[in-house]
Amino acid sequence: MCDSSYSPGWFLQNGVVLTVYTAVCASRDWQRTTQNPEPPYEEKIFIGAQEVPIFGWVAIPENAHGTIVGTYGITGDLDNQWYLRLLGRKAYAQGYAVVLFDWRAHGKTAQLSPTLTSDGLYEGEDFVRISAAAKAMGCPGKFWFTGYSLGGQLALWAVKAAVELTREDENLGLEDSDIGGAAVICPSLDSARSLSFLVKHPVGKYFERAIARQLKKLAWQIHDAHPGTIDPEAIERANSIWGFDEELVIGRLGFPTVEAYYDASSALPLLRNLTKPTLIIYAEDDPFFEPAIIPELQIACANNPMVDLLLTRYGGHVGYISSKTCQRQAKDPDQWWAWNRILEWIGKQG
């Protein structure tokens, strides 16, 4: 069933329009939409899975009552991912410790290591090891993993990894009771089907090309920071998201094909087995993802009482800018409906 508590202004009741508006327009004045200041972040280099160094920011308020650990989507870095930094402001103001990080091959993490992405296969463990180090710094449980778009996929993998690692690694520094769960916005759930949908969509193909250009730029930055680690000819050939993974990623991870990699890393099959509270906010009009996934998402969530699904008619891809009427009805302090629902939901988990 579709949740009706979210509504945008009438001119944003189209997934493509809301997605573009959020990325182009809302990104310019987001700081004016919140009364919350930037937390006093401390820079920290964490050690993730496979001993990969991960760059992050940590802020711990007085009397913190939990910790939110988050990252962003397929491209970007901590400096320019304003949507994630908005969460940091809101969460810190509500008394949560906040840990934000540049995931593998992004931002300052890419300067520290040439290790490329794995779309959750190792990033899930990164989340957990970051949380263990944050606990040692004074961040309190429970730890809540969050992200949006591809970062949401990573956070779902983190729930699986957390349960396994707290059970198997006595030296981890985290207990099962330290793990809260996850709350994600518009997570990638089936990479192969959604990418096929995106490149065939009359507007989506332009989104895909823009992302591919950013991935190529990312690869060149790693090449320049770590000479000899990436074949420049392979970067030249990587002219699509699929091409990036085919030329640069799957060989290092041991997958014979991109299809096999996407099958292994996609998050939809994880949902039936998650054993920690998990919230998924997902829009029916998300222009990035194959609509046929939605019935399968509904079934997976219905069959697992640990997973709550907020499926909305509108929202676009990581948009969720609410109308004034919606803000009044939800008693929200601002237009950022999805982050407000996530913080509200986490607050109710106890």
Give residue 2's pLDDT band: very low, low, confident or very high (50, 70, 90): low
**Sequence-distant (≥ 6) Cβ neighbours of residue 51 within 8 angstroms:** none
Q: How far apart are CA 172 and CA 169, in angstroms?
A: 5
Q: pLDDT value at position 3?
A: 72
List 7, 119, 317, 323, catalytic entry: 317
The yes-or-no answer on residue 149 being catalytic is yes
CB 220 within 8 Å of CB 235: yes
- Three-state secondary structure along 74-114? CCCCCCCCHHHHHHHHHHHHCCCEEEEECCCCCHHHHHHCC
pLDDT in tens, 18-77: 999 999 999 999 999 999 999 999 999 999 999 999 999 999 999 999 999 999 999 999
Show the beta-strand stretches assigned E in 232-283. Answer: 278-283
List 131, 240, 286, 323, catalytic entry: 286
Query: Lowest mean pLDDT: which of 115-129, 149-163, 189-203?
Result: 189-203
pLDDT in tens, 66-114: 999 999 999 999 999 999 999 999 999 999 999 999 999 999 999 999 9
Question: Can you give the pTM of this predicted structure?
Answer: 0.96
Query: Would the pLDDT of 334 be above 80?
Result: yes
Q: pLDDT value at position 1?
A: 59
The yes-or-no answer on residue 317 being catalytic is yes
Mean pLDDT of the 141-151 span: 97
Query: Would the pLDDT of 350 be above 80?
Result: no
Give residue 121's pLDDT band: very low, low, confident or very high (50, 70, 90): very high
List 7, 113, 118, 149, catalytic entry: 149
- 142: preceding bond cis by omega (within 30 degrees): yes
Residue position matching structure tokens 């001993």: 51
Mean pLDDT of the 282-306 span: 96
